[in-house]
Amino acid sequence: MKSKSLFRALLVALAPCMVAGSTEVTAGPTDNPSVASVRTFRFFYAASINQIKPGTRARVWLPIATDSAWQQVCRIRISVPGDPRETVEQQYGNHLLYFEATADKTGEIPLEIVYDIRRKETVSSPIAGEVRSSLDLFLKPTRNIPIDGSLMRQVVTRSIMGTDAMATVRELYDAVNDHMRYDRPAGQPWGRGDAAWACKSGFGNCTDYHSLFIGLCRERHIPAKFEIGFPIACDASKGTVGGYHCWAMFAADGRWHAVDISEADKAPEMEEYYFGHLTPDRVTFTLGRDLLLEPRQAAGPVNFLIHPYVEVDGKPHTSLEKRFRYEGID
């Protein structure tokens, strides 16, 4: 286990980097935690599926951002070929846009969806009645998140006693933060959200941190779920988005609580904040793992869905030029 405690202690008093640029802020978490910060921005989900033989037919599923307790989403424009239709993935309720298209003479299929998004700071929220009855979904293992006790034995160095769920999860949060370091070296299988691999390697990206955390929670019979979307820079009014970001939620005391452990690791002064809060510098697109899309894909469950999922001749096609970006809205 890495020793980070002294470093965190030196930084804990520093002011966190909150929202900036064209961000609307009513109050930050260090000013008044009961008043949420807000971020409003236009998000461009644009890409070109490429390296397909011209004239070849492809099936395409796009994740769709939708309203939640923490975000309001307005679709401004949908520009995709073919005859798109909106569908809903049944297990987690993710919204999808499905279409079939033929690659053009350059072997590409272009696409773009433009959203206006109002995102609030995430704080704990009550578990809705209809969700409460299905919490067992968030206690089950997935292909990359085992719950056989192996994670707990390797990551948590002392016995966790008692029945207080919040105290237990805080110990798991700290254990993952101590065990992991944020690193994405070339040639290593980070980014799959493989909890067992993260447990052994001790490094990875946000998917690895939060898969390990979710596995530990579920091993302690605490429901936990995986959310993924995109980060929005807190210090710029517009820019490109190079990649996705994910975080986790856990259920305790009748409420959902958020954690962002990889961000807490990168910014130790935010360690306390990221246990129970998320900044509004993000947008959620999908929830869950091992997704069975609608209509059903041919190649088996999708590990997680944030980029376009494409099949050509029944096999996944992953060559993609991403052009994700955002612009602040005053």
List the domain range (segments joined by +) for residue 177. 5-32+121-287
112 and 137 together in one domain: no
The domain spanning residue 95 has which CATH number?
2.60.40.2250
Residues 249 and 114 in one domain: no
Answer yes or no: is pLDDT of 26 > 50.
no
Task: Give the 3-state secondary structure of residue 7.
Answer: helix
pLDDT band at 161 (very low <50, low <70, confident <90, very high): low
Supply the DSSP string of 169-211, one letter for each residue. HHHHHHHHHHH-EE---TTS-TTS--HHHHHHH-EE-HHHHHH
For the chain, what percent of residues have pLDDT higher than 70?
Answer: 88
- The answer to whether 187 and 193 are in contact (CB under 8 A) is no
Name the one residue in this structure whose structure tokens are 């993924």.
Answer: 228
Percent of all residues in the chain with a pLDDT value above 90, rounded to a whole number: 83
Same-domain check for residues 126 and 259: yes
Q: Where are the beta strands (DSSP E) in 222-308?
A: 224-231, 238-240, 245-252, 255-259, 282-287
pTM of the model: 0.89
As for how many domains the chain has, the answer is: 2
Asked if pLDDT for residue 329 goes beyond 70, the answer is yes
Residues 24 and 173 in one domain: yes
Residue labelled with tokens 């998140």: 145
* Cα 135 from Cα 12, distance rounded (Å): 34
> What CATH number has the domain bearing residue 216?
3.10.620.30
Please check the confidence at residue 121 and state whether its pLDDT lies above 50: yes
Q: How confident is the model at residue 35 (pLDDT cuts 50, 70, 90)?
A: very low
Span 241-257, pLDDT tens digits:
999 999 999 999 999 99
Bridge-partner residues for 39, per DSSP? 119
